[in-house]
Amino acid sequence: MPPDISITVELGADLHTSASETVLAGLMAYNAAKLPMPESRFAVLARDVETDEVQAGISIVLYKGEAESFWAGWSVPEAEGGPALPAVLAFTERDLARRGARVLRCYSRAHDDRAPYLAGGYRDTARVRDHIRGGDFVVFSKALGGEAAPLPATLAFELREPLSRPLAKYVWRQTDQRRQRRLGVPVRWASAYVRQGGAVKGGALCYAAGDDFMVDMVWLDDSLRGTGTGYAMLDAALQAGRAMGCTRAGVETMDCQAPRFYPKLGFQPIAHLPSDVPGMGMTFFQMRL
């Protein structure tokens, strides 16, 4: 590891600190460089027509007729269980069908509301058991082009294309808040950052939920790859997880990211979800702490 590198673990550092935002921006840029260029990338928001407040939304990436929502749909706390998220799905299905898309896949984690997918005709096409807190990671898929559900008059729909950085930050915040609400235990963040000359050059954004320690987002500047810095960064994060009382760590990574890296730290693969999009297949790893 270069001598001018420092690695620090910051407790309570979630996705919304300035250092974490640098990590997220680096990860987005890395993925954009490694994955095929999508046909489009956009978000759909549903607003209450009376208050103009956002009620629910979804982010979409479209590749050659196949649409992916990596973080699934979400709704604000006041709208959970209501018509907003089902309506967002219906609006999105119509828009994607108009674009010629054949299928929509939504990647649902243990903290997601799955009722809208089950009620909306989506099929459970892939599943990773016991992903976190005993909950499964599920891929819900739906063939497009059929009759879409009617849209409620109480909601107005907004299509944002391309997906802007501020909107991406808003979506991450909603995802984080949903995770806090639905996992049933406090979510405690512990993130490891790599700095060089005061600049953030990498990070492992992690959180503890009960006995599980989830490595949520990982990025390292290209100039530091192969120097041992990534190993030291993630090892520092895992040490924090142990100190927080966690007994198991988990991480998921795309084929274009670092599937060969995690076994070097002791992670074992538990599942692989293939993808027709080169580089987008996902491997799930776990290890005992």
Query: In angstroms, rounded to a whole number, what is the distance separating the alpha carbons of residues 173 and 170?
Result: 5
Domain boundary among 133, 158, 181: 181
- The verdict on 206 and 166 lying in the same domain is no
pLDDT in tens, 178-203: 888 888 889 999 999 999 999 999 99
- The verdict on 143 and 263 lying in the same domain is no
Global confidence as pTM: 0.91
- The verdict on 10 and 56 lying in the same domain is no
- Residue 147: predicted pLDDT: 82
- The verdict on 159 and 196 lying in the same domain is no
- The verdict on 123 and 219 lying in the same domain is no
| SS3 category, 70 | coil
Residues of the chain with pLDDT under 50: none
User: Number of structural domains, the chain?
Assistant: 2
- Residue 172: predicted pLDDT: 76
Query: In angstroms, rounded to a whole number, what is the distance separating the alpha carbons of residues 161 and 181?
Result: 29
- The verdict on 87 and 198 lying in the same domain is no
Rg (CA), the chain: 19
Boundaries of domain holding 210 = 5-31+185-288
- Residue 267: predicted pLDDT: 97
- The verdict on 247 and 148 lying in the same domain is no
Amino acid at 226: G
Domain boundary among 181, 201, 216: 181
Domain boundary among 181, 206, 238: 181
Number of C-beta neighbours around residue 116 at 10 A: 24
Q: Which residue has the tokens 């235990």?
A: 185
| SS3 category, 115 | helix
